[in-house]
Amino acid sequence: MKKLRVFAVPLALCAAQGIASAQSIVPNRAFYFGLGGSVNTTDFNNQSIEATGLSDAYNKTTGAYMSSGTAGGPPVSLGMGSQTGFAPVVQAGYFEHFQSSQWLWGAKFGYNGLGQSSTTNSFLIPQYGSYGATPFTGNAVVQSFKTNIAHQFSLMPFIGHSFEKGFVYAGAGPTLSQINTKIDNLIGFADIKGERTDISGAPQNFSSSQWVVGGALTVGATYFLDASWFIDVNYNISMTPNQTANYSSTFNNTNGNTNVNYSGSLIGSSTAKTTTQAISISINKAF
């Protein structure tokens, strides 16, 4: 028994030293700020665009009113594919362990300067209408349509579990994204009595910029270099809902080859949503 006691004391001391050496360097609680970069892939599918034309026709010689017309049609779906690129990221957050636990909670505010775009070139928007009692078909000719997600902010509450030199976490929260759309060189044409006619005149450009609320999911892991500095690696998937942008302008077409002047309005809209997947890495300072 004495021999067992003699060996038990140094074994207990070694075990205590092992436990002490395995203590986590992750702070119990901390605010933090970080800078880094991300690889992002944005899916721009499910885009659609529609256009309506309203016009009045006047005799070019006398200026007398002749008739009114309107044309429109169903939305045209555009397959715009995906884009991949790099972007800067900034984040600031806070975490805190639950009392006497390795589990923790927190939240972080993030910015991703996505700056990704997708463009569809040279397409037609079919239209159907009438001038007075005369029916016609036509189309709006578009040189290009571009969708861009420029900036994205996120607020992400999370739950995590800490280890000796870091913690893993998962969370979800809202996003705020800037979505820009641009239509270049749109002209409205009509086939009236078998003659193709430029109704709206010179090509027109349209643009829209909106801030859209969406949502995101995140999973990530940190590695603490010491109690103040750590590396954060995470995967995010964020989605914006269908968002409609509206466009309108007036036209006065006096340069046609016929003896008719056309004036009126071009009215249209586009609907878009995006899905972005991002892998980010940042260096962070805990306070």
Rg over alpha carbons for the chain, rounded to the nearest Å, is: 31
> Higher pLDDT residue, 276 or 45?
276
Residue 22 placed within a domain: no
- The residues pairing with 224 across neighbouring beta strands, listed in sequence order, are 230
Whether 3 has a pLDDT exceeding 80, the answer reads no
Count of domains forming the chain:
1
Tens-digit pLDDT profile for residues 7-20: 343 433 333 333 33
Query: What pLDDT, on a 0 to 100 scale, did the predictor assign at position 227?
Result: 93
Range of the domain at 154: 40-286
Quickly state the pLDDT bin for 134 (edges 50, 70, 90): confident
Return mean pLDDT, the chain: 89
Residue 23 placed within a domain: no
**Beta strand segments in the chain, E:** 29-43, 47-59, 65-72, 76-78, 82-97, 103-112, 116-131, 134-162, 167-192, 195-198, 204-224, 229-239, 243-253, 260-272, 275-286
pLDDT, mean of residues 121-141: 88
pLDDT, mean of residues 141-162: 96
Alpha helices in 87-163 (DSSP H): none
**Percent of the chain surpassing pLDDT 90:** 72
Residue 91 placed within a domain: yes
Other CB atoms closer than 10 Å to residue 87's CB: what's the count? Answer: 19
Tens-digit pLDDT profile for residues 152-195: 999 999 999 999 999 999 999 999 999 999 999 999 998 877 78
Residue 3 placed within a domain: no
Residue 12 placed within a domain: no
Quickly state the pLDDT bin for 81 (edges 50, 70, 90): confident
What is the distance, to the nearest Å, from the Cα of residue 208 to the centroid of all Cα atoms in its chain?
A: 14
Separation CA 2–CA 204 (nearest Å): 98
Residue 19 placed within a domain: no
Residue 70 placed within a domain: yes
Query: What pLDDT, on a 0 to 100 scale, did the predictor assign at position 223?
Result: 98
Question: Euclidean distance between the first and final Cα of the chain, in Å?
Answer: 52
Residue 33 placed within a domain: no
pTM of the model: 0.85
User: Which whole-number Å values give the CA distances from 228 to 32, 89, 173, in the listed order?
Assistant: 9, 20, 26
pLDDT, mean of residues 99-104: 95
For residues 121-153, one letter each, b for 16 or more C-beta atoms within 10 angstroms of the residue's C-beta and e for the rest, the string is eeeebebebebeeeebebbbbbeebbbbbebbe
Query: What pLDDT, on a 0 to 100 scale, did the predictor assign at position 22?
Result: 58
* Region of residue 188 (phi > 0: left; psi between -120 and 50: alpha; otherwise: beta): beta
Quickly state the pLDDT bin for 143 (edges 50, 70, 90): very high
Whether 119 has a pLDDT exceeding 90, the answer reads yes
Whether 237 has a pLDDT exceeding 50, the answer reads yes
Cα dihedral sign, 27-102-109-152: positive
Separation CA 140–CA 146 (nearest Å): 16
Amino acid at the residue 39: V
